[in-house]
Structure 1
Amino acid sequence: MNAAQFQNAMIVCMIVGFAVMEWATRRYKTNVHATSNDTKLELLMFLSLLAVTQPLAILATSKLGAAFFPDAKGMLADLPWWGMVGVLLLADDMTQYWWHRLSHSPLLWPLHRAHHSAEYMSIRVTFRNNFFYYLMMPGLWFGGALLYLGFGGMVYASYIIVKLFVILGAHCAWRWDEPLYRIRALHPLMWVLERTISTPATHWAHHAITNQDGVGHYKGNFGNLLFFWDILFGSAHITRQYPAKVGLIDDKLFGQERWYHQMFFPVLQSRREHSALKFGGTIYAEPEEATKAS
């Protein structure tokens, strides 16, 4: 089994494992109330990322590298594993933190709001986004460039596996960190862990429908693999609690946007009142917590 096959096999196992835990703990049945609109968006975004966006980034960077930097191909293949991991954390995970953070600005919010429009947390939400959000994500293109420079093999595969394990776990309906907080002996470990990687408590807060309960923090907690970026750049909020509700207040008031508007804006634009998914549209912001794009 080569590195790519190992990576894909582990990713499938992780998805199945988290899905089983969502069902076994009954968290999926009691908390995930998805519509057909949700299912279409999540399924098609997952397939498009897998079949279009990632392969395109890898192919394009490979072709560009061969055309303009042929001597650079594989030049970093002999870098030690810890060096590769350090570069990946900066070029992939830190850039994703900043891309995510910038995507909560008024200009880029329409490309990311689909991820927040789910009224539930589950592994099925993990890749729920706008098509162009991923197409423009710097980390995907840096990743393709690093593969061209020789970052293949088990180091890259292991990095992807660990990162997806953390991200899936942070979105999972099964809140794996919740029982660990209740074990007094684990408090020091959890203090370090929740400041190092994304956990359900910190990431669910990012998906909260309001900040007014002191738990929600949709203007922070942007980290994907490392929550440390939030600590470092001042956007962290840690409560060890979970928001009562997640989603978007404008969807509650005016109905959910159609999946194709969420996925393909700005090519396809909404006709809904108070919509970020149309040029010149406005987001309903009467309640203070409704302003999700600021």
Structure 2
Amino acid sequence: MTAVQIQNALVLCTILGFATMEWASRRYQNNVNATGNDTKLEILMFLSVLAVTQPLAIFVTSKMGAAWFPQYKGALADLPWWGMVGILLLLDDMTQYWWHRLSHTSFLWPLHRAHHSAEYMSIRITFRNNFFYYLMMPGLWFAGALLFLGFGGLVYAGYIVVKLLVILGAHCAWRWDEPLYRIRALHPLMWVLERTISTPATHWAHHAITNADGVGHYKGNFGNLLFLWDIIFGSAHITRRYPEQVGLVDDQLFGQERWYHQMLFPLLQSQREHTALKFGGRIYQDPQDRSPTA
């Protein structure tokens, strides 16, 4: 099997594994209240990332590299695996941290809002975002450039699988970290783990509808693979607890935005009174400061 085939097989096993645990634990049946609107958005965004955005970034960077810098093709192929992983963590994962953090400012919030409009946590929302959120994500383009420079093979495949494992786990309706917190002997390990990678407890807090309970932290916990970036850059909030509700208060008050507005803004714009998905629109300002961009 090639590295790509191994990567794809492991990715499929990871998705099926988490899906099985969501179902077997009954967390999916009891907590995921998705509508048809949610399903269209999530399926189409997953397919667009898989079939359009990621291949496009790889194709364009490869063509640009071949046209402008042909002498550098494969130039970094002989780096040791740990060197490749370190560069990937900086140029892919750390840049994604900052892109995510910037997406919680008023200017970029419309491109990320769809990810927070889900009123449930599940692996199905992992790639739920605006189409242009991914198209403009620096890490995807850096990854394409690194592939041109020789970052292929099992190192890149392994990095992708591990990152997806952590990200899916952080969104999963089955909270894998919850029982581990109750085992006293594992407390030192969990202390290190929750400060290193994203976990359900830290990432669910980022999706909380409010910060008022001391658990929610939608203005932080931005890490994707590494939660360490939140520790380093001062945006971490660790409670080992889970918010009672996730989602957006303006959707609760005024109804969910249509999937095509969430996915294709600014090409398609909402007609809702309180919305971030139209030019000049303003989201509802809750007196308890429950807006993720407030």
Which category of TM-score, normalised to the shorter sequence, fits these structures? over 0.9
Task: Kindly provide the CA deviation profile for residues 59-80 of structure 1, in whole angstroms up to 9, marking residues without a partner as x.
Answer: 0000000111000000000000
Structure 2 partner of 1:100: 100
Partner Cα distance (2:17, 2:124) in 1:
13
Structure 1 partner of 2:111: 111
Partner Cα distance (2:115, 2:102) in 1:
14
Partner Cα distance (2:286, 2:30) in 1:
31
Q: Secondary structure at the match of 2:95?
A: helix
Structure 2 partner of 1:240: 240
> Paired residues, what number?
294
Aligned residues with identical type, % of pairs: 81
Partner Cα distance (2:103, 2:55) in 1:
23
Structure 2 partner of 1:21: 21
Q: Within 5 Å, which residues of 2 pair with 1:46-57? A: 46-57=46-57
Residues 111 and 132, structure 1, Cα contact 8 Å, conserved in 2: yes
Q: Secondary structure at the match of 2:289?
A: helix
Quote the offset at 1:288 in angstroms.
2.5
Matched, 1:64 2:64: yes
Residues 117 and 248, structure 1, Cα contact 8 Å, conserved in 2: yes
Compute the TM-score of the two structures, normalised by the length of structure 2: 0.99
Structure 1 partner of 2:287: 287
Structure 1 partner of 2:259: 259
Compute the TM-score of the two structures, normalised by the length of structure 1: 0.99
Quote the offset at 1:289 in angstroms.
2.7
Structure 2 unaligned regions, length at least 5: none
Structure 1 partner of 2:37: 37
Letter in 2 for 1:83: G
Letter in 2 for 1:141: W
Residues 219 and 235, structure 1, Cα contact 8 Å, conserved in 2: yes
Q: Within 5 Å, which residues of 2 pair with 1:1-294? A: 1-294=1-294
Residues 201 and 239, structure 2, Cα contact 8 Å, conserved in 1: yes
Partner Cα distance (2:33, 2:121) in 1:
10
Partner Cα distance (1:286, 1:116) in 2:
16
Residues 41 and 259, structure 2, Cα contact 8 Å, conserved in 1: yes
Task: Kindly provide the CA deviation profile for residues 125-144 of structure 1, in whole angstroms up to 9, marking residues without a partner as x.
Answer: 00000000000000000000
Structure 1 unaligned regions, length at least 5: none
Quote the offset at 1:286 in angstroms.
2.9
Residues 211 and 290, structure 2, Cα contact 8 Å, conserved in 1: no
Quote the offset at 1:292 in angstroms.
1.8
Residues 209 and 289, structure 1, Cα contact 8 Å, conserved in 2: no
Partner Cα distance (2:51, 2:287) in 1:
40
